[in-house]
Amino acid sequence: MAGKNNTRLVVVESPTKAKTIRGFLPAGYRVAASMGHVRDLPESATDIPAKYKGQEWARLGVNVDADFEPLYIVPGKKAKIVSELKALLKDADELIVATDEDREGESIGWHLVQVLNPRVPISRIVFHEITPEAIRAALASPRQIDEDLVRAQETRRILDRLVGYTVSPLLWKKIATGLSAGRVQSVAVRLLVNRERERRAFRSATYWDLKATLLRGITPFTAVLTAVGGKRVAAGRDFDENTGRLKSNDVVLLDGEQATALQERLRASGWKVAETDEKPTVRRPYPPFTTSTLQQEANRKLRLSARDTMRIAQRLYEEGLITYMRTDSVHLSEQAIKASRSRIRSLYGDNYLSPQPRQFTTKSKGAQEAHEAIRPAGTEMRTVEELRLTGVEGALYDLIWKRTVASQMAEARLTYLTATIQADNATFRASGKRIDFPGFFRAYVEGQDDPDAALEDREEPLPPLAAGDDLALRALEALSHATQPPARYTEATLVKMLEQEGIGRPSTYASIIGTVIDRGYVERVSNQLVPTFTAFAVTGLLEKNFPSLVDTKFTAKMEEELDEIAEGEAQWLPYLRDFFLGADGLDETVKRGQESIDPREASTVILEDLGARVRIGRFGPFAETEADGETFTASLPEGIAPADLTAEQVSELVRAKAEGPDVLGNDPVTGKPILMLQGRFGPYVQLGEAEEGSKSKPKRASLPKGMNPADLKLDFALKLLSLPRTLGTHPETGKEIQANAGRFGPYVVHDGDFRSLAKTDDVYTVDLARALELISQPKGGRGQRAAIEPLRTIGAHPKDGEPVNLFEGRYGPYVKHGAVNASIPKGTGPDEVTLEQAVTLLAEREAAGPPAKKGARGGRAGGARTARPASKSGSKSKADTAAKTPARAAKSRTAASARTAAAKSTARTASKTASSRTAAKKPKK
Measured between alpha carbons, how far is 920 from 882 in angstroms, rounded to an integer?
10
Contacts of 363 (CB under 8 A, 6+ apart): none
Strand bridging mode 736-742 / 725-729: antiparallel
- Comparing CA positions, the residue from 436, 381, 382 lying closest to residue 411 is 436
Half-sphere exposure of 629 (CA within 13 A, CB side): 0
Measured between alpha carbons, how far is 174 from 777 in angstroms, rounded to an integer?
58
Alpha helices in 363-490 (DSSP H): 384-387, 391-406
Contacts of 205 (CB under 8 A, 6+ apart): 239, 244, 245, 246, 482, 483
Known catalytic residue at 575: no
Measured between alpha carbons, how far is 444 from 297 in angstroms, rounded to an integer?
12
Q: Is 492 in contact with 541 (CB distance < 8 Å)?
A: no
Measured between alpha carbons, how far is 94 from 142 in angstroms, rounded to an integer?
12
Measured between alpha carbons, how far is 862 from 47 in angstroms, rounded to an integer?
6
3-state secondary structure of 677: strand
Measured between alpha carbons, how far is 877 from 857 in angstroms, rounded to an integer?
13
Q: Is 406 in contact with 285 (CB distance < 8 Å)?
A: yes
Question: Residue 322 carries which DSSP code?
Answer: B
- Comparing CA positions, the residue from 312, 329, 338, 441 lying closest to residue 374 is 329
Contacts of 504 (CB under 8 A, 6+ apart): 183, 184, 187, 188, 498, 512, 555, 559
Q: Is 709 in contact with 676 (CB distance < 8 Å)?
A: yes
Which one is catalytic: 317, 324, 348, 684?
A: 324
Q: What type of residue sits at position 841?
A: L
Q: How far is CA 891 from the centre of its chain?
A: 15
584-617 residues labelled b (16+ CB within 10 A) or e (exposed): ebbeebbeebeeebeeeebbbbebeebebbbbbe
Q: Is 680 in contact with 637 (CB distance < 8 Å)?
A: yes
Q: Is 636 in contact with 623 (CB distance < 8 Å)?
A: yes
Measured between alpha carbons, how far is 887 from 772 in angstroms, rounded to an integer?
37
Give phi and psi for 512, each to the nearest 5: -65, -50
- Comparing CA positions, the residue from 101, 113, 111 lying closest to residue 75 is 111
Active-site residues, by number, are: 324
